[in-house]
Structure 1
Amino acid sequence: MVEKTVFVVFFSGDQAKAKILKICGSFGASCYPVPEEMVKQRQIFREVSGRLADLEATLDAGIQHRNKALESVGSQLRRWTIMVKKEKAVYDTLNMLNFDVTKKCLVGEGWCPIFAKSQIKDVLQRATLHSNSQVGIIFHEMDTIDSPPTYFQTDKFTNAFQEIVDAYGIARYEEANPAVYSVITFPFLFAVMFGDWGHGICLLLGACVLILREKKLSSQKLGSFMEMAFGGRYVILLMALFSIYCGLIYNEFFSVPFHIFGKSAYECREKTCSDAHTAGLIKVRDPYPFGVDPSWRGSRSELPFLNSLKMKMSILMGVTQMNLGIVLSYFDAKFHGNALDIRYQFIPQMIFLNSLFGYLALLILIKWCTGSQADLYHVMIYMFLDPSGNLGENQLFWGQKELQILLLLMAIVAVPWMLFPKPFILKKLHKERFQGHTYRFLGTSEMDPDSEPDSARSRHDDFNFSEVFVHQMIHSIEFVLGAVSNTASYLRLWALSLAHSELSTVFYEKLLVLAWGYDNLVVKLVGLVIFSFATAFILLGMESLSAFLHALRLHWVEFMNKFYHGDGYKFRPFSFALLADDED
């Protein structure tokens, strides 16, 4: 609709009329002459009204025709859009090909998986037949110095774990893939921090809903949060199962312990005893068969006991996973035939890590098995400050002092072992290769120094000893310092597990138990509702996200930096299936 202002102009003379018409025309005004006779005015009014009615009828007919046309097109619009995208993608790909003028054919170069070679040949032969082409399509392998892209075959179960690794960096070609191990280690480390089998069951129900409605949800447009949750539905499933397992070990169901696997090893010394005081308990039978004894809950020794248990358990898991990362670097170097990395990187790294923190893990296991009261903090500190000092009551086994001195010396020797040999050996090997090239070329060109090819000179110039040495020094220092910081970083397993347990206890005791202590039904219902919301949004929402991010950090930094470079690029094949989801 266009709104216009109606106005009347009175004038005298033809000259004034011409000026007024010119001004009105310049401003887009419609001019209608108004005769003095009333009959003629009515006649003009009827003519204008008739023209307006005709215009409105024409516009209405045009709008109806347009709506019918759009309705008939609407059902085909998505199919046409995809068709146009396919046509555009085909022409964009054809533009990447080179035109051979002499043979009058298109030449294309690209990567393909080895297993797909036979499939590609069959498809090209069918394309030749269907297009009635008189010239066959030639398909052959090419030699190239370019590094190939990386391609991992995944399914709906493993895809989310591969995406977690790819978010850190795409693997080099033929580099060990951390996603294979992350399928188990990632949800397990999450569960160590989130261990509560009640909360694990809630996560399991959510994962099962996403998996059972998989077909329906995959065809819908989801929000950013739901799309992330749906994409990681199998990750959530494993996190839930491992959380139930760890919750059974911690013996926590919304922070409440249960006698699932039999009776407690402790009973009351008298007929009545307080659960808050271990003085009223006495051990009467074998230890609780699986997990933490429920009698520890509410006792004065609960927090020190769980602190010690979870802290030592975190160190054991951290040392194990870091050793796994170093072992994977060995297999990676062995696969590529890199003996220098095995001798001067893998071996000293294993010696350094296990001489210090592997020894600490061994002490933890010995202390658990023997029930010793030795102070492991004192043992590790004085291993550096006073290696030859008397251990006294902190001695766990015969020959411990001599072993500690040996391990300390091995750790000290491992540092220069990592730092110095590799750069000098690389320099020597490069020099020998360069001299061999120079000798051959001088022998064939009558000792003319200018006859040395540019390729040999460029190879000689490419090697920069100072750069190689600095890189090796940075790598060695990073590993030595990282061995300490990474081991300490695994203590987040202990901290978050303890925080989750204590927060769950606070919600249970201060919301649910306190509210149900009243006789008023309204107070009980309000307490139950608040407890449910706090559990859902804080423990299941924020705490699970926090544990997820910390598990991500432990894999990206502490585990993958031992062997994973992540500086490759992804194989992106031409595919019509990907165009439907491509908004660009």
Structure 2
Amino acid sequence: MLFPAPVKKVSFIVHQSYLDKVITSLHESGLMQIIDITREDSKLLNEIENCEPSEETNECIAYENRLKNLIGILKTYKISKSGLKALLSPTVIEKKPVKKKKLSTLYREIDSLLRHIEKKILSLDGNIQKLKSEIDDINEDLQNISYLLNFDFDISYLGDSEYVITKAGITSEPEMVSREIESLDGIAGYVQIGKRKEKKWCIVGACHVSKKDKLELIWQRHINDIYLPSMTGKPLQVYKALQKQRDKLTKEMKKLKKEMNELSAEYMHELLVKLEEIQIERVRREISSSFGKTSATYVIEGWVLERDSNTLKSLLEKVTDEKIAISTSSPSSNPDNPPTYLDIPPWMEPFKTILALFSIPKYNEISPVPFLVIWFPLLFGIMLGDAGYGIVILLISLLAKFKLGSISPFIRSWSLVGILFGFWAVLFGFLFNSFFGDFVPRFIYGDENALLYHLDFLGYSIPLDALHKPLIVLVIALLIGLVHLNLGFVLAMCQNYRRGETKKIFKEQIPWFLLQIGGGALVGKALLHIWDLSLPMFIVSSIFAAIGLIALFVNNKAMGFFELTGFVGDWLSYARLLALGLATSGMALAFNIIAQLMPEIVPYIGIVLLFVILIFAHLANLLIQSLGAAIHSLRLQYVEFFNRFYEGGGKEFTPFRVRRKYTEEIVEGGR
């Protein structure tokens, strides 16, 4: 688990008569990641041909596209749960049992299904889109006509006639425009249609056609045209007629949509099943393009987990009647660049996703996932640092795990992250004397200066009052930072030892340990006056610090200074553990004070406001501070911690396997 699982490179040659059986077995077993030989720098390329995809691939793609098109249409009409209902009661996908079948049989089944519904769905959707376009046009016309509702004229007059040109538009300068139209011996009228800062006026103007060019110029300079349909009648009459027409079209569209809702409910799952089946067949036929080919055989290469190599060999020998030549070899990091498989338990998968946001480790590199499991939630808990907020997170996560976990694997796995977040937030909240800020001392004890509790543990008094004694928390934060950073150095040592690079241990890691021990002892005596050093200890500390500094500058030359200041900067970054914790407690305390003052400021209603402020203010604080704590905790992992030992840049092991979401293959007589 500390390092990626070992893999083997496997190559085999199989006769063309067994190719389909081999591909199906590899796909169903999911044991092997297939390499595209055409992209490999392999000697085989000089002796073999590139293999083209199966001729049936294009036919599979054609069926797949038709199915996807129908599914895409029906999805827009599918009635789905939303909001809280979708969260608390998500739809469970029922897998349909399917039998192994020939591709020709699958074609016939898809053709039968499409013959029954394809034309109908496309026709209904086309009609709905046409109606929607007509309704949108009517809505635009209604908007334009609404500007003219206060005018009393037939809208058919708008435009050019034998003697008069009439135009309508929107302007912000009605009086000036009216004067300009009247100067053309025309007439104009306007009404206000905008309010407040958006004051606009609708203006209608007319003049003799001989002045058309001048009227057009006025319109271009000051007015936005109103475009209206070719209808006859006064604005109000036309407006009502259009509304009636829109209502009729809307009713017709609702009827068609209801029909599409029914089709979606009846056929969506079957379409998804057929799509999954044809995609599986298409993938099996496309994969041959990654093979090499001779006149009678195929050459296939890939990666297999070392623990599965014998299983793969037995499987291939079985399906080919042992008429196959197989060879396996251990990878070299260069040029093979083997894939990375992180062998972790399922409950760690969310932390693998978090690591993938940065980068997957290389094949011969330490996996930080087990350390993320500990340090990411732990540092989050310190930075949130409130037991009340931690309990809320813990309860929500437990509810998600036990109520929704059986339905959604995603919720089940990620709820564990929330549980760990909540656990550490509760622990450090009680340690740092924060439960919704000072809620308990202020509202229950009646003394805001009181502690949550008092306990003597190993000679120390807890809880620590972080708000009034922040220096103690700062020291704890910096000590945690030192532990975290030095864990990174230890992991770097393990990594170098595994790679056989022991010289790097003495050059890159041990000098840092010596420098920290020696330099820390000297700084504690000379600058901080924390302790006294005896002469032997002073000499040893000086030697350690000198060795560390000399090694640092020998290895990095002039950049050694920046390496030193960079390490100090990384260490001081852990002061954010104090800063964010104080921000959480400080904001919570402020909300408690405001809520406590409400009954005095607003009698009677103030009691209600007290509870409203407490609930919503603390909820907002929880959301904001949790987001900040998660981001900063992640930053400490990605930058400060990973900088000590981790590079990343690996490629994840992706075996050639069947991925089923809507189907479950069965065999005759059972599953």
**What is the CA-CA distance between 1:313 and the residue it aligns to?**
0.5
Q: 2:611 aligns with which of 523, 528, 545?
A: 528
Partner residue, 1:339: 502
**What is the CA-CA distance between 1:214 and the residue it aligns to?**
3.8
Distance change in 2, residues 1:83/1:556 (3 Å): same
Partner residue, 2:545: 411
**What is the CA-CA distance between 1:137 and the residue it aligns to?**
3.5
Q: 1:127 aligns with which of 301, 319, 341?
A: 319
**What is the CA-CA distance between 1:292 and the residue it aligns to?**
6.0
Partner residue, 2:325: 138
Q: What's the CA shift string for 1:472-531, capped at 9, x where partnerless?
A: 5588555322211011101000111111111111111212x2235578443222221222
Q: Name the aligned partner's letter for residue 496 of structure 2.
A: A
Partner residue, 1:558: 640
Partner residue, 1:109: 301
8 Å Cα contact 2:381-2:425 kept in structure 1: yes
Asked if 1:355 is matched to 2:537, the reply is: no
**What is the CA-CA distance between 1:213 and the residue it aligns to?**
3.2
Q: Name the aligned partner's letter for residue 586 of structure 2.
A: E
Asked if 1:99 is matched to 2:304, the reply is: no
**What is the CA-CA distance between 1:340 and the residue it aligns to?**
1.3
State the alpha-carbon separation in 2 of the partners of residues 95 and 198 from structure 1: 58
SS in 2 for 1:157: helix
Q: 2:391 aligns with which of 182, 193, 201?
A: 201
Distance change in 2, residues 1:336/1:200 (3 Å): same
Partner residue, 1:212: 402
Q: What's the CA shift string for 1:419-476, capped at 9, x where partnerless?
A: 536xxxxxxxxxxxxxxxxxxxxxxxxxxxxxxxxxxxxxxxxxxxxxxxxxx55885
TM-score by length of 1: 0.61
**More strand, by proportion:** 2
8 Å Cα contact 1:203-1:540 kept in structure 2: no
8 Å Cα contact 1:197-1:252 kept in structure 2: yes
Distance change in 2, residues 1:257/1:569 (3 Å): same
Q: What's the CA shift string for 1:377-423, capped at 9, x where partnerless?
A: x725xxxxxxxxxxxxx362342x875575355334423424536xx
**What is the CA-CA distance between 1:541 and the residue it aligns to?**
0.8
8 Å Cα contact 1:171-1:568 kept in structure 2: yes
SS in 2 for 1:106: strand
**What stretches of structure 2 of length at least 5 have no aligned partner?**
1-126, 132-258, 664-671
| Pairwise CA RMSD | 3.9
Count of paired positions: 402
Distance change in 2, residues 1:291/1:498 (3 Å): farther
Q: What's the CA shift string for 1:22-68, capped at 9, x where partnerless?
A: xxxxxxxxxxxxxxxxxxxxxxxxxxxxxxxxxxxxxxxxxxx9999
8 Å Cα contact 2:467-2:585 kept in structure 1: no
Q: Name the aligned partner's letter for residue 243 of structure 1.
A: A
Q: 2:356 aligns with which of 166, 172, 181?
A: 166
State the alpha-carbon separation in 1 of the partners of residues 270 and 467 from structure 2: 66
Distance change in 2, residues 1:405/1:554 (3 Å): farther
Q: What's the CA shift string for 1:224-257, capped at 9, x where partnerless?
A: xxx7x77632111101011111112112211237
8 Å Cα contact 1:170-1:567 kept in structure 2: yes
8 Å Cα contact 1:199-1:540 kept in structure 2: yes
**What is the CA-CA distance between 1:217 and the residue it aligns to?**
4.8
Distance change in 2, residues 1:231/1:412 (3 Å): same
State the alpha-carbon separation in 2 of the partners of residues 68 and 252 from structure 1: 55
Distance change in 2, residues 1:532/1:406 (3 Å): same
Q: What's the CA shift string for 1:337-386, capped at 9, x where partnerless?
A: 112101211211222233335776xx5xxxxxxxxxxxx8x725xxxxxx
Q: 2:531 aligns with which of 396, 407, 424?
A: 396
Q: 1:483 aligns with which of 550, 567, 570?
A: 567
State the alpha-carbon separation in 2 of the partners of residues 527 and 71 from structure 1: 48
State the alpha-carbon separation in 2 of the partners of residues 319 and 69 from structure 1: 63
**Which range is displaced more, 407-416 or 564-573?**
407-416
Q: 1:503 aligns with which of 587, 600, 603?
A: 587
Identity %: 23
State the alpha-carbon separation in 2 of the partners of residues 530 and 410 from structure 1: 57
Distance change in 2, residues 1:420/1:67 (3 Å): closer
State the alpha-carbon separation in 1 of the partners of residues 349 and 653 from structure 2: 15
**What stretches of structure 1 of length at least 5 have no aligned partner?**
4-64, 130-134, 220-226, 265-272, 279-284, 364-375, 381-393, 422-471
Partner residue, 2:598: 515
SS in 2 for 1:397: coil
Asked if 1:327 is matched to 2:490, the reply is: yes
Q: Name the aligned partner's letter for residue 422 of structure 2.
A: A
SS in 2 for 1:76: helix
State the alpha-carbon separation in 1 of the partners of residues 261 and 468 from structure 2: 75
State the alpha-carbon separation in 2 of the partners of residues 562 and 183 from structure 1: 18
SS in 1 for 2:436: coil
State the alpha-carbon separation in 1 of the partners of residues 630 and 483 from structure 2: 20
Asked if 1:379 is matched to 2:527, the reply is: yes
Asked if 1:238 is matched to 2:420, the reply is: yes
Distance change in 2, residues 1:499/1:71 (3 Å): closer
8 Å Cα contact 1:165-1:179 kept in structure 2: yes
Distance change in 2, residues 1:276/1:532 (3 Å): closer
Distance change in 2, residues 1:275/1:548 (3 Å): closer
8 Å Cα contact 1:322-1:562 kept in structure 2: yes
Partner residue, 1:311: 474
**Which range is displaced more, 494-503 or 349-358?**
349-358
Q: Name the aligned partner's letter for residue 598 of structure 2.
A: A
**What is the CA-CA distance between 1:324 and the residue it aligns to?**
0.8
State the alpha-carbon separation in 2 of the partners of residues 69 and 250 from structure 1: 59
State the alpha-carbon separation in 2 of the partners of residues 286 and 195 from structure 1: 18
Partner residue, 1:80: 274
TM-score by length of 2: 0.53
- Equivalences for 1:282-297 in 2 at 5 Å? 287=456, 293=462
State the alpha-carbon separation in 2 of the partners of residues 200 and 548 from structure 1: 13
State the alpha-carbon separation in 1 of the partners of residues 412 and 310 from structure 2: 35
**What is the CA-CA distance between 1:95 and the residue it aligns to?**
1.2
**What is the CA-CA distance between 1:566 and the residue it aligns to?**
0.9
Q: Name the aligned partner's letter for residue 327 of structure 2.
A: H
Partner residue, 1:461: none
SS in 1 for 2:347: coil
